[in-house]
Amino acid sequence: MGLRGIDDANTNIHIQTFKYEEITVKRNAIAGVCALSVLAFASVAGAGQGNYGSHFIANWDADEDGTVTLEEATEKRSDIFVTFDADDDGVLTPEEYAAFDEARKADMADLKKGGQGGAGMKDPKKRPSYGMTLEFNDVDGDGNVSRDEFLDRTPDWFAMLDRNGDGLVTAEDFGPPRN
Ligand SMILES: [Ca+2]
Ligand SMILES: [Ca+2]
Ligand SMILES: [Ca+2]
Protein backbone atom coordinates (compact mmCIF):
# COMPACT_ATOMS: atom_id res chain seq x y z
CA MET A 1 0.00 0.00 0.00
CA GLY A 2 1.63 3.21 1.06
CA LEU A 3 2.91 4.83 -2.06
CA ARG A 4 -0.32 4.62 -3.98
CA GLY A 5 -2.08 6.11 -0.99
CA ILE A 6 0.35 9.00 -0.92
CA ASP A 7 -0.26 9.69 -4.59
CA ASP A 8 -3.98 9.83 -3.98
CA ALA A 9 -3.51 12.19 -1.07
CA ASN A 10 -1.21 14.41 -3.11
CA THR A 11 -3.78 14.58 -5.86
CA ASN A 12 -6.30 15.75 -3.31
CA ILE A 13 -3.94 18.51 -2.21
CA HIS A 14 -3.62 19.82 -5.75
CA ILE A 15 -7.36 19.80 -6.21
CA GLN A 16 -8.08 21.57 -2.97
CA THR A 17 -5.28 24.09 -2.72
CA PHE A 18 -7.80 26.91 -2.58
CA LYS A 19 -9.05 25.83 0.82
CA TYR A 20 -6.53 26.09 3.61
CA GLU A 21 -8.49 23.96 6.07
CA GLU A 22 -8.76 21.13 3.59
CA ILE A 23 -5.04 21.27 2.90
CA THR A 24 -4.37 20.84 6.58
CA VAL A 25 -6.68 17.87 6.71
CA LYS A 26 -5.13 16.27 3.65
CA ARG A 27 -1.68 16.93 4.97
CA ASN A 28 -2.52 15.00 8.09
CA ALA A 29 -3.86 12.22 5.92
CA ILE A 30 -0.54 12.09 4.13
CA ALA A 31 1.30 11.98 7.42
CA GLY A 32 -0.80 8.96 8.35
CA VAL A 33 0.02 7.21 5.11
CA CYS A 34 3.70 8.03 5.49
CA ALA A 35 3.76 6.75 9.03
CA LEU A 36 2.48 3.41 7.78
CA SER A 37 5.15 3.33 5.12
CA VAL A 38 7.80 4.19 7.65
CA LEU A 39 6.63 1.42 9.91
CA ALA A 40 6.66 -1.02 7.06
CA PHE A 41 10.23 0.01 6.41
CA ALA A 42 11.19 -0.33 10.04
CA SER A 43 10.09 -3.97 9.87
CA VAL A 44 12.90 -4.48 7.45
CA ALA A 45 15.38 -3.64 10.15
CA GLY A 46 14.41 -6.57 12.33
CA ALA A 47 13.78 -9.13 9.63
CA GLY A 48 16.15 -11.89 8.76
CA GLN A 49 18.58 -11.05 6.04
CA GLY A 50 17.05 -13.42 3.50
CA ASN A 51 13.63 -11.81 3.15
CA TYR A 52 14.09 -8.20 4.00
CA GLY A 53 15.44 -7.15 0.66
CA SER A 54 12.06 -7.64 -0.93
CA HIS A 55 10.37 -5.78 1.92
CA PHE A 56 12.75 -2.89 1.49
CA ILE A 57 12.22 -2.70 -2.25
CA ALA A 58 8.45 -2.89 -1.83
CA ASN A 59 8.49 0.11 0.49
CA TRP A 60 11.05 2.33 -1.20
CA ASP A 61 10.63 1.58 -4.91
CA ALA A 62 8.22 4.39 -5.79
CA ASP A 63 7.95 3.62 -9.51
CA GLU A 64 7.84 -0.14 -8.92
CA ASP A 65 10.57 -1.01 -11.39
CA GLY A 66 12.28 -3.33 -8.92
CA THR A 67 15.16 -1.01 -8.05
CA VAL A 68 15.52 1.84 -5.60
CA THR A 69 17.40 4.84 -6.93
CA LEU A 70 19.09 7.52 -4.88
CA GLU A 71 16.33 9.85 -6.00
CA GLU A 72 13.62 7.53 -4.73
CA ALA A 73 15.46 7.11 -1.45
CA THR A 74 15.82 10.88 -1.03
CA GLU A 75 12.16 11.48 -1.81
CA LYS A 76 11.05 8.88 0.70
CA ARG A 77 13.33 10.24 3.39
CA SER A 78 11.82 13.65 2.78
CA ASP A 79 8.35 12.16 3.34
CA ILE A 80 9.54 10.48 6.51
CA PHE A 81 11.02 13.73 7.79
CA VAL A 82 7.78 15.61 7.22
CA THR A 83 5.84 12.87 8.98
CA PHE A 84 7.80 13.19 12.18
CA ASP A 85 8.45 16.93 12.13
CA ALA A 86 5.35 17.49 14.19
CA ASP A 87 5.56 21.30 14.35
CA ASP A 88 6.76 21.69 10.74
CA ASP A 89 9.74 23.85 11.64
CA GLY A 90 12.18 21.87 9.50
CA VAL A 91 14.00 20.41 12.48
CA LEU A 92 13.53 17.14 14.32
CA THR A 93 14.09 17.90 17.96
CA PRO A 94 15.06 15.16 20.44
CA GLU A 95 11.36 14.92 21.40
CA GLU A 96 10.23 14.54 17.81
CA TYR A 97 13.03 12.09 17.20
CA ALA A 98 11.95 10.06 20.21
CA ALA A 99 8.52 9.61 18.63
CA PHE A 100 10.21 8.43 15.44
CA ASP A 101 12.37 6.01 17.45
CA GLU A 102 9.31 4.70 19.28
CA ALA A 103 7.46 4.09 16.03
CA ARG A 104 10.34 2.05 14.67
CA LYS A 105 10.81 0.14 17.90
CA ALA A 106 7.12 -0.72 18.23
CA ASP A 107 7.06 -2.02 14.72
CA MET A 108 10.09 -4.21 15.29
CA ALA A 109 8.42 -5.70 18.35
CA ASP A 110 5.38 -6.49 16.23
CA LEU A 111 7.51 -8.15 13.66
CA LYS A 112 9.16 -10.39 16.21
CA LYS A 113 5.75 -11.41 17.52
CA GLY A 114 4.85 -12.45 14.00
CA GLY A 115 7.76 -14.87 13.98
CA GLN A 116 9.64 -13.15 11.19
CA GLY A 117 12.15 -11.44 13.39
CA GLY A 118 15.67 -12.63 13.02
CA ALA A 119 18.99 -11.48 14.30
CA GLY A 120 19.48 -9.44 11.16
CA MET A 121 22.95 -8.16 10.50
CA LYS A 122 25.26 -8.47 13.44
CA ASP A 123 26.61 -4.94 13.35
CA PRO A 124 23.73 -2.56 14.11
CA LYS A 125 25.54 0.17 12.20
CA LYS A 126 25.30 -1.86 9.01
CA ARG A 127 21.56 -2.34 9.23
CA PRO A 128 19.36 -0.17 7.02
CA SER A 129 17.67 1.06 10.19
CA TYR A 130 20.87 2.72 11.34
CA GLY A 131 20.39 5.29 8.60
CA MET A 132 17.23 6.40 10.39
CA THR A 133 18.86 7.07 13.74
CA LEU A 134 19.58 10.44 15.32
CA GLU A 135 23.19 9.39 15.77
CA PHE A 136 23.60 8.85 12.03
CA ASN A 137 21.77 11.99 10.95
CA ASP A 138 22.82 14.64 13.45
CA VAL A 139 25.90 15.60 11.49
CA ASP A 140 26.76 18.75 13.45
CA GLY A 141 26.08 17.03 16.77
CA ASP A 142 23.76 19.70 18.15
CA GLY A 143 21.17 17.11 19.20
CA ASN A 144 18.67 18.13 16.51
CA VAL A 145 18.33 16.82 12.99
CA SER A 146 17.54 19.44 10.38
CA ARG A 147 15.87 18.58 7.12
CA ASP A 148 19.14 19.32 5.32
CA GLU A 149 21.05 17.01 7.61
CA PHE A 150 18.51 14.25 7.14
CA LEU A 151 18.47 14.54 3.35
CA ASP A 152 22.20 15.16 2.97
CA ARG A 153 22.85 11.85 4.69
CA THR A 154 20.88 9.98 2.04
CA PRO A 155 23.84 9.33 -0.31
CA ASP A 156 25.97 7.93 2.55
CA TRP A 157 23.14 5.71 3.72
CA PHE A 158 22.37 4.68 0.15
CA ALA A 159 26.01 3.71 -0.40
CA MET A 160 25.83 1.48 2.69
CA LEU A 161 22.77 -0.26 1.26
CA ASP A 162 24.19 -0.56 -2.25
CA ARG A 163 26.58 -3.34 -1.38
CA ASN A 164 27.50 -4.23 -4.96
CA GLY A 165 28.08 -0.58 -5.79
CA ASP A 166 26.05 -0.41 -8.99
CA GLY A 167 24.32 2.79 -7.90
CA LEU A 168 20.95 1.10 -7.32
CA VAL A 169 19.54 -0.75 -4.38
CA THR A 170 18.03 -4.05 -5.42
CA ALA A 171 17.15 -7.29 -3.63
CA GLU A 172 20.65 -8.53 -4.48
CA ASP A 173 22.16 -5.97 -2.13
CA PHE A 174 20.52 -7.79 0.77
CA GLY A 175 22.19 -11.11 0.18
CA PRO A 176 21.09 -14.21 -1.64
CA PRO A 177 17.45 -15.20 -1.21
CA ARG A 178 16.69 -18.16 0.99
CA ASN A 179 15.93 -21.51 -0.60
CA1 LIG B 1 12.48 2.38 -8.75
CA1 LIG C 1 10.29 20.04 14.40
CA1 LIG D 1 22.09 18.60 13.88
Residues with Cβ within 8 Å of 84's Cβ and at least 6 positions away in sequence, in order, are: 38, 92, 96, 97, 99, 100, 103
Residue 177 lies in a domain: no
Residue 75 lies in a domain: yes
Please give all residues whose CB falls under 5 A of ion ligand 1, grouped by chain where several chains appear. 61, 63, 65, 67
Residue 178 lies in a domain: no
Cα-Cα-Cα-Cα dihedral of 138, 57, 117, 50, to 10°? Answer: -120
Residue 179 lies in a domain: no
Highest mean pLDDT among 44-48, 88-92, 101-105, 169-173: 88-92
- For residue range 48-71, what is the model confidence (pLDDT) as tens digits? 444 677 878 988 999 999 999 999
Residue 93 lies in a domain: yes
Residues with Cβ within 8 Å of 27's Cβ and at least 6 positions away in sequence, in order, are: 13
Residue 176 lies in a domain: no
- What is the reported pTM? 0.68
Distance from the CA of 101 to the center of ligand 2, in angstroms? 15
Domains identified in the chain, total number: 1
Phi, psi for 91 (deg, rounded to 5): -135, 135
Strand, helix or coil at 56? Answer: helix
* Range of the structural domain that residue 129 is part of: 3-170
Distance from the CA of 134 to the center of ligand 2, in angstroms? 13
Above 60 in pLDDT, residue 34?
A: no
Residue 115 lies in a domain: yes
